[in-house]
Structure 1
Amino acid sequence: MVPGDSSERLSLQCRIREGDLVIVYERHDNMKAIKVTGGSVLQNRFGVFKHSDWIGKPFGSKVFSNKNGFVYLLAPTPELWTLVLSHRTQILYIADISFIVMYLEIVPGCFVLESGTGSGSLTTSLARAVAPMGHVYTFDFHEQRAVSAREDFEKTGINSLVTVGVRDIQGEGFPNEYSGQADAVFLDLPQPWLAIPSAGKMLKPDGILCSFSPCIEQVQRSCESLMVKFTDIRTFEILLRTYEVKEARAEIGEGDEGFSFRSPPRKKRQHSTEKGNEVEASCATTIVARPCSEARGHTGYLTFARLKCLS
């Protein structure tokens, strides 16, 4: 991260200061981003939390309300920011983002071009990947979305790594000043094939392009355009299945051999009301892993291609 900026401090797990952005964690599906202000309070179902009590505590701390309820104060990592940011557009999630960063071969010092910015979910992870000396130039045709994205990047402390521009990349292409400089280009556009010729001019020899499209017809047209100047063209669909791990009760009888995806059962002792002595309970607890009932399905297709090297 850039020395001295908030992203470096957060990565080092420093203590919370006034003005910092924290992720208030109630449970895995209930988090929110809050700027710490000395005279402010947070009110929720667990009670009232004073911001002044948070200042000086390390990120990850468990803090208590006036009713002895509690929340956790987490650093706004790209993964958590993706879960709490304002959805100005449909966003990319962790499974797609991690694959994109890996397959584009993005490392510290890379020069990356992106279109369009949208809600900035991917941009945030790209910025962390190129830090401390690289840079991400991201473009959106919608001016208000670009303004909102800049504000978000300032909140999360990555504004020194990201430049946001307003430009119709499909119609105008990328600015000529970046020609031949980009290590990687990412496209999230309705008609990516219109921007592929310009993206090819921006890339260094052997540079990599990725295009995200929700429909296979978009993929087909993009691949036709890529065949002109690109090689190693591949398309992927990332499907993520999450499992919930929790403690559950199960009836244990003679001859039971256990349960799939479960640890050995732990028997509890119960008090007998008839004889007044303790006996082993027939109902035991065990750790169970089950697929989540609401699994995230298809998000889109990721098409990658490498710019041909001219001999």
Structure 2
Amino acid sequence: MDVVKEGDYVLLWHSNEIKVIAVAKRGLVIGTVRGILRLDDILGKPYGSRIVTNLGHTFYITKPNIIDVLLKMPRVTQPIYPKDTSALIIMLNVRPGSRILEAGLGSGYAASLLAMHLKPLGQLISIERNSRYIAVAKKTLRTMEVNDVVDIINGDIAELALPEEYFDSALLDMGDPWRAIPIVIKALKHGGNLAVYVPTISQVEKVIRSMVDSNFIDIKMIEVNWREWKTTINEVRPKTWNLSHTGFIIVAKKP
């Protein structure tokens, strides 16, 4: 029987609007609008069972989604949101065994999701200039259990000597990616894709110009909008708040 153990991430669900993702720890007490949850009461309980608050409201004890856990991790930069990472995984042809280059590790959110699709034999090499970001990202990668396929380099990609025609694809998530594009094309295998993630149009134009000047082909740009709907019976409609623009994804291919 699969039971809650100390240190597990758990989802305590009352409704779509009232739910808690927490680490099961002895002595931890969580306050909600439906009452107090004492995590001592869930240790050793089977997943799928229920817990009742001091106000008499029931919460299901279940396992969280990958994204639930990832979004609980500390962040030191604006991360690439999962809605965008899901598109990047497809557009970069990420698969088990791929070699991926990333510049701009940040908090490690995108790296975690990319690495999950590379296991067990793939490799993600991530380059990050800020050592403080690296320290935070390493904790995230360990929590998400993907640190074994991620190699981190503290440095500036524009100043590094990368192996030629080594990577299957590359992702740039940095403030000035146009500096790195002429270097990345040499490091990509023929047919490999480069994706650049930037939040503003002024950055987009510089990225596209650098891609053209570096002889990339098949340049395209997308924006991913996520529209969630309310699923309450007799009230099914779009939610009032939705996650809209987060960034632009520009993708190009090395011929």
Identify whether the pair has TM-score above 0.5, normalized to the shorter chain: yes
Partner residue, 2:72:
84
1:188 aligned partner: 173
Runs of 4+ aligned residues of structure 1 deviating over 6 Å after TM superposition are none
Read off the aligned partner of 2:39 and give its amino acid letter.
K
Which of residues 151, 154, 172 in structure 2 aligns to 1:166? 154
Match of residue 144 from structure 1: 132
Equivalent in the alignment of 2:51: 64
Change (3 A) 1:229 1:300: same
Unmatched 5+ residue regions in structure 1?
1-12, 248-286
Tell me the equivalent position of 2:27.
40
Provide the residue aligned with 1:223 in structure 2.
208
Equivalent residue runs for 1:269-288 within 5 Å: 287-288=234-235
- CA pair 33-159 structure 1, distance change in 2 beyond 3 A: farther
Q: How many residues align?
A: 251
Match of 2:248 in 1: 301
Distance 1:162 1:146 in 2: 12
Q: Is the 8 A contact 1:21 1:156 kept in 2?
A: no
How many angstroms apart in 2 are the aligned matches of 1:182 and 1:41? 45
Name the stretch that deviates more: 68-77 or 119-128: 68-77
Counterpart selection for 1:119 from 107, 113, 138: 107
Distance 2:14 2:106 in 1: 27
CA–CA distance in structure 1, aligned partners of residues 132 and 153 of structure 2: 11
1:220 positional shift: 1.3
RMSD (CA atoms): 2.5
Change (3 A) 1:76 1:304: same
Match of 1:102 among 71, 90, 101: 90
Question: Is structure 2 residue 194 aligned with structure 1 residue 209?
Answer: yes
- CA displacement 1:246-266 (0-9 Å, x = unmatched): 23xxxxxxxxxxxxxxxxxxx
Partner of 2:229: 243
Aligned mates of 1:76, 1:165 — CA distance in 2: 31
| Change beyond 3 A, Cα 1:295–1:48 | closer
Letter in structure 2 aligned against 1:156:
M
Q: Which residue of 2 aligns with 1:261?
A: none
In structure 2, do the counterparts of structure 1 residues 155 and 34 end up closer, same or farther at CA, with 3 Å as the change threshold? farther
Q: Shift in Å at residue 24 of structure 1?
A: 4.7
| Contact persistence 2:109–2:140 (CA under 8 A) | no
Percent of residue pairs identical: 24
Q: Does 1:290 align with 2:237?
A: yes
Secondary structure, in 3 states, of the residue corresponding to 2:232? Answer: strand
C-alpha offsets along residues 253-282 of structure 1, whole Å, 9 cap, x if unaligned? xxxxxxxxxxxxxxxxxxxxxxxxxxxxxx
Higher alpha-carbon Rg: 1
* Conserved? CA contact 1:193–1:221, under 8 Å: yes
Q: Secondary structure at 2:205's aligned position in 1? A: helix
